[in-house]
Amino acid sequence: MGIQEQYRTDAANLLDSGAVKLVIGYGEGSTPERRRPIFIRSAEEVGRLVLDANCIANLSAYLVPEGLLSDGKSVAVFLKPDGIRSVNILAAEAQLNPEQVVILGFNIDAGLANPLPGRKANEFAPLLASLKSAGLSTDLQREADRLEQMTAVERFEYWKEQFSKCIKCYACRQVCPMCYCRRCIVDVNQPQWVNTSSHTLGNFEWNIIRAYHLAGRCVACGGCDRACPVNIPLRLLNHRMSKEALDTFDHFAGESADQKPVLATFRQDDPETFIL
Amino acid sequence: MAKIGVFVCHCGENIASMVDTGKLVTAISGHPGVAFSSEYKYFCSDPGQETVKRAIRENNLTGVVVAACSPRMHEQTFRKACAEAGLNPYMLELANIREQCSWVHTDRIEATDKAIEITRALVEKVKRNNDLQPISVPVTRRAMVIGGGVAGIQAAIDIATAGREVVLVEREPSIGGHMSQISETFPTLDCSQCILTPRMVEAVQHPNIRVMTYAEVEEVDGFIGNFTVKVRSKARYVKMETCTGCGDCIQKCPVKKIPSEFECELGNRTAIYTPFAQAVPNVPVIDRSRCTYFKNGKCAICKKTCQIDSIDFEQEDKTEYIEVGAIVVATGFQVQNTSMYGEYGYGRYKDVITGLHFERLASASGPTAGKIKRPSDGKEPETVVFIQCAGSRDASKGVKYCSKICCMYTAKHAMLYAHKVHHGKSQIFYMDIRAAGKGYDEFTRRAIEEDEAGYIRGRVSKLYEENGKLIVRGVDTLLGKPVEVEADMVVLATAMVPQPDAKEFAQRIGIGYDEYGFFNEAHLKLRPVETSTAGIYLAGACQSPKDIPDSVSQASAAAAKVLGLFSKEQLEREPVVATVSDSTCAGCWGCVIACPYNAIDRKEITDRNGNLIKRVASVNPGLCQGCGTCVSFCRSNSIDLAGFTESQIFAEVMGL
Ligand SMILES: Cc1cc2nc3c(=O)[nH]c(=O)nc-3n(C[C@H](O)[C@H](O)[C@H](O)COP(=O)(O)OP(=O)(O)OC[C@H]3O[C@@H](n4cnc5c(N)ncnc54)[C@H](O)[C@@H]3O)c2cc1C
Ligand code: SF4
Ligand code: SF4
Ligand code: SF4
Ligand code: SF4
């Protein structure tokens, strides 16, 4: 039995037994290689579930809408390791109870979707630990290295050019599982910290604030990057922040559900090179 | 309509020499909302403050900006003046055009432009300020003193005698600190034990003092007036309540050859022991790592010996949380380990010892009963060489600072040696003789003139053993000649350094420290016994090297500060506290974790029927210190700080 069949069966069993009230998975999309999130509430519907190498979106973002989990019932969700990490962060930030999240885990390797053993986020701890020790990389590694080589001025120019494209559609925010605030700081207009018009200053303010808000939280699912209609390489920005958090503070976002926010905690042996 | 008064201070020449104050006044007087502006030589002076008050009254000002020095300097002064003129004190802002402008610039035109911008920014801020009322918090009128050396004992007695409760926490089995190890004390040569022991007894017997020995402070929570301190009392294995201190157990303990820490390893102790005969409390402890019973379950001789069954092998460490309003830190010092000086041979030659060893040799209650005998063979040394600054004032190998006491105790050692070994000869290598203090220079003169201490100005370059003698080589820099002395014993005046765990301890309780680990005072000259953490004070050698008179004076000063704090039942606190917006808080609890004062709780919001709607953060204004950490952490921008609100800061920034 292929993984798709197996997970359809698993989903049907979970729904039939009443273990979960909802399965969040992937279905056919608008083109043959696109997948879109689908929400299945009865075993009869599991045939709509698709699982293959095109299932790349991080579905954990659909767990946080207000009220979904407040009845205490469980929800099953298809997640890659990045999604499992974001469930851990959401749990660490009290946005959900990980006991209510049943994970249908998989990863994509060599063009194939493969099952990952485990059902609850904490069962994936060894997997996440091995990801942490493997270190961070991005599929834009060459570009990342090139940025690293630049002088501060050159890098600033690079991002100025990139950010000048931003149209403030906030698609990057909407897609990100970590952007769950009921009111985002960009929507504050008393005072108007972030300029809403799309000129360079306002765009800088927005993109830099977002990068900071994701420091030590981004799981590199790439959602924002794919969502961006003007192709700003947002993952490079997030990658750089993640690298800083890992190298400097040994913080790998979403390592566990009791992880403390890297920007709110300190350890006595934290490097203090920035304190003059 | 805002009516803001702007008062531009010259600060004598401090500001006026670099900032064109006239131009500043003209520029700001045309700024929207500014109803009054003037300049003056010293606004902080009496007539200056009167000008401000009069202007407030006569012009019905709604806000005041004083363009002068740092708010750290005079914010309180002008707040008071505003209050006296009937204006809410929080309607005042200081525009810092001194530290942040005139002092750091060299171009008068640029400095003036900057001063205008700074002042304008504060005018914009003060327009958006609101009246704030101070917050009163109750003060727990009980103090904790950490460290039971002479400084800690003095502070505890002073506070207790004034009628307040004190908890004195000492980590060793007995209070007393280093002073109990010292034989006789400069500059009077009275016996250290004789003057200290009565104080130690007074402390334990005082009805207002609770002495906790063998105990360590693990955590300090809270803030001035309201600290909660976690203290762990280590298991003694001897019942404090019943033990009479008869010492039978100590007599019988078969493990007798443990080098005694108190005797600087010149003598031995048993596994169940009191550090010294006059220990207070006079209740032994069992050194678990050495006790045979704890090793293999056999022995228990002490338990069998004790007639009132006071030995309890089952005892465990006890943790308690103690509420106090103020803390005096008096954790003292240690003598530096001098083994980094290869040329002095410390640790290599048995007869090269430190000053503290010498104290034990000279002490009537010490391992040699006060006879000067050298450690290697117990012979009376005929010639003793003392090396001063063995670690101090040596940037390359030791510490940069002067330990302040070594000149004096070396002179004392030479005297004690002369009194005890009449034909003995002492030679002291020194760099300078620093004997500033009441009766101090007279004391060193006496050592030279009456007790024939031989002072050689110069450093020792080499020390080695030959035919049972220690050969000390150096240069007499006054004569410009090399010298060589054959000695039977060498005493190093080692540096006074912080306790080994000083930095870690300071971090644990939240006070600052210098590069060495000595604790930092709030201001070296004007606030020498306070730390920059309100409610935590310093006494004794934990702050810097000190002798007994200095340690005791500082202890009494710290006690006076504590008593000042305790003189009122309530403490007025700045109303600069944070508040959370329930409607936008996402309940991520980041702020709860980030708040260094544990001032944020989780709050449940329910509907009319009690159903939970959501959980949000909520700041306890009694605990909040207004640091703003939570404000900067909150991603949803849900927290605002009174006196520094988002709209005030925004206006200030946009005013630049
Ligand atoms: C060789 C020598 C000779 C000296 N001779 C003289 C002299 O003749 N005349 C003179 O005026 N001065 C003399 N001094 C200086 C004198 O010893 C000090 O001034 C004095 O001991 C300082 O007292 P203190 O209470 O600050 O520190 P200490 O005596 O060091 O006491 C500190 C106490 O705090 C305790 N403690 C430390 N950390 C903790 C903790 N975390 N928790 C709980 N308890 C803790 C320690 O166990 C100790 O009991 C001499 C010093 C030396 C080294
Ligand atoms: S910032 Fe982008 S890549 Fe990172 S978790 Fe959010 S959507 Fe994924
Ligand atoms: S998705 Fe792209 S264009 Fe839209 S707000 Fe984000 S960065 Fe700007
Ligand atoms: S950090 Fe902000 S959003 Fe998070 S709990 Fe605190 S106030 Fe609420
Ligand atoms: S301002 Fe915020 S972080 Fe600072 S003490 Fe108050 S509640 Fe805590």
Among B569, B572, B578, B551, smallest CA distance to B639 is for: B578
- Contacts with A257 from chain B: Cβ below 8 Å: none
* Residue A257 in domain: no
Q: Min CA distance, B514 vs chain A (Å)?
A: 14
ipTM value: 0.93
Q: For residues A98 and A195, state if they share a domain.
A: no
**B311 DSSP β-pair partners:** B238
What pLDDT sits at residue A232?
A: 96
Give kind and range of the element (H or E) at residue B334: strand B333-335
Confidence band of A275 (pLDDT split at 50, 70, 90): low
Could you give phi then psi for residue B221, rounded to 5 degrees? Answer: -120, 160
Q: For residues A116 and A153, state if they share a domain.
A: no
Q: For residues A191 and A244, state if they share a domain.
A: yes
* Residue A273 in domain: no
What pLDDT sits at residue B195?
A: 96
Q: For residues A126 and A33, state if they share a domain.
A: yes
| Ligand minimally distant from the alpha carbon of residue B386 | 1
Which candidate from A181, A265, A268 shows the least CB-CB separation from B635? A181
**pLDDT tens digits along A219-260:** 999 999 999 999 999 999 999 999 999 999 999 999 999 999
Last residue of a domain, one of A81, A100, A130: A130
Q: For residues A125 and A167, state if they share a domain.
A: no
| Ligand minimally distant from the alpha carbon of residue B639 | 4
* CA–centroid distance, residue B600 to ligand 2 (Å): 29
How much is the pTM?
Answer: 0.73
What single string gives the DSSP state of each residue in A12-49? Answer: HHHHHTTS-SEEEEEEE-SSTT-EEEEEE-SGGGGGG-
Q: For residues A100 and A143, state if they share a domain.
A: no
What pLDDT sits at residue A276?
A: 56
Q: For residues A144 and A241, state if they share a domain.
A: yes
**pLDDT tens digits along B64-123:** 999 999 998 899 999 999 999 999 999 999 999 999 999 999 999 999 999 999 999 999
**Residue B611 in contact with partner chain A when CB distance is under 8 A:** no
> What residues contact residue B586 under an 8 Å CB cut-off, 6+ apart?
A95, A180, A181, A182, B635, B636, B638
Q: For residues A94 and A151, state if they share a domain.
A: no
Cβ under 8 Å to A: B residues 634-653:
635-638, 646-647, 650-651
- Domains along chain B with CATH numbers: 4-127 (3.40.50), 135-231+321-332+499-569 (3.50.50.60), 235-316 (no CATH), 335-497 (3.50.50.60), 574-654 (3.30.70.3270)
Q: For residues A171 and A206, state if they share a domain.
A: yes
User: Does the pLDDT value for residue A141 go beyond 90?
Assistant: no
Q: For residues A32 and A98, state if they share a domain.
A: yes
Cβ neighbour number for residue B182 with a 10 Å cutoff: 23
Q: For residues A69 and A185, state if they share a domain.
A: no
Written in H, E and C, the secondary structure of B561-575 is HHHHHHCCCEEEECC
What single string gives the DSSP state of each residue in B536-567? Answer: EEE-GGGTS---HHHHHHHHHHHHHHHHHHHT
**Residue B73 in contact with partner chain A when CB distance is under 8 A:** no
**pLDDT tens digits along A147-181:** 999 999 999 999 999 999 999 999 999 999 999 99
Q: For residues A81 and A163, state if they share a domain.
A: no
The answer to whether B589 contacts A93, with C-beta atoms less than 8 Å apart, is: yes
| CA atoms B367, B368, B371, B374: torsion sign | negative
Among B392, B384, B395, B330, smallest CA distance to B548 is for: B330
Q: Which residue of B has its CA nearest to A266?
A: B594
- What percentage of chain A exceeds 90 in pLDDT? 84
Residue A17 in tokens: 């037994």
* CA–centroid distance, residue B591 to ligand 5 (Å): 8
* Residue A87 in domain: yes
The number of distinct structural domains making up chain A is 2
Structural domain span for residue A226: 138-251
Last residue of a domain, one of A109, A130, A151: A130
The answer to whether A264 contacts B633, with C-beta atoms less than 8 Å apart, is: yes
- Contacts with A94 from chain B: Cβ below 8 Å: 587-589, 615
Which candidate from A183, A193, A261 shows the least CB-CB separation from B636? A183
Residue A99 in tokens: 């006991």
User: Does the pLDDT value for residue A10 go beyond 70?
Assistant: yes
* Residue A19 in domain: yes
* Residue A268 in domain: no
User: Does the pLDDT value for residue A273 go beyond 80?
Assistant: no
**Which of the residues in chain B have pLDDT under 70?**
none
The answer to whether A93 contacts B637, with C-beta atoms less than 8 Å apart, is: no
**pLDDT tens digits along B433-467:** 999 999 999 999 999 999 999 999 999 999 999 99
> What residues contact residue B114 under an 8 Å CB cut-off, 6+ apart?
B97, B101, B105
* CA–centroid distance, residue A92 to ligand 4 (Å): 13
What pLDDT sits at residue A272?
A: 75
Last residue of a domain, one of A114, A130, A146: A130
In the chain, the amino acid numbered B197 is T
What pLDDT sits at residue A85?
A: 97
**pLDDT tens digits along A68-96:** 998 999 999 999 999 999 999 999 999 99
What pLDDT sits at residue A198?
A: 83
- Among B168, B179, B200, B416, which is best to mutate for testing ligand 1, by the most ligand atoms less than 8 A from CB? B179
* Residue A224 in domain: yes
* Residue A275 in domain: no
> Any idea what the Cα angle at residue B398 is, between residues B394 and B402, rounded to 5°?
60
Residues A130-152: what's their mean pLDDT?
A: 89
Site residues for ligand 1, CB cut-off 6 Å: B 146-152, 169-172, 177-179, 182, 185-186, 216-217, 330-333, 335, 355-356, 359, 405, 409, 412, 499, 505, 540-541, 546-549, 551
- Between CA B2 and CA B123 the distance in angstroms is 10
* Residue A229 in domain: yes
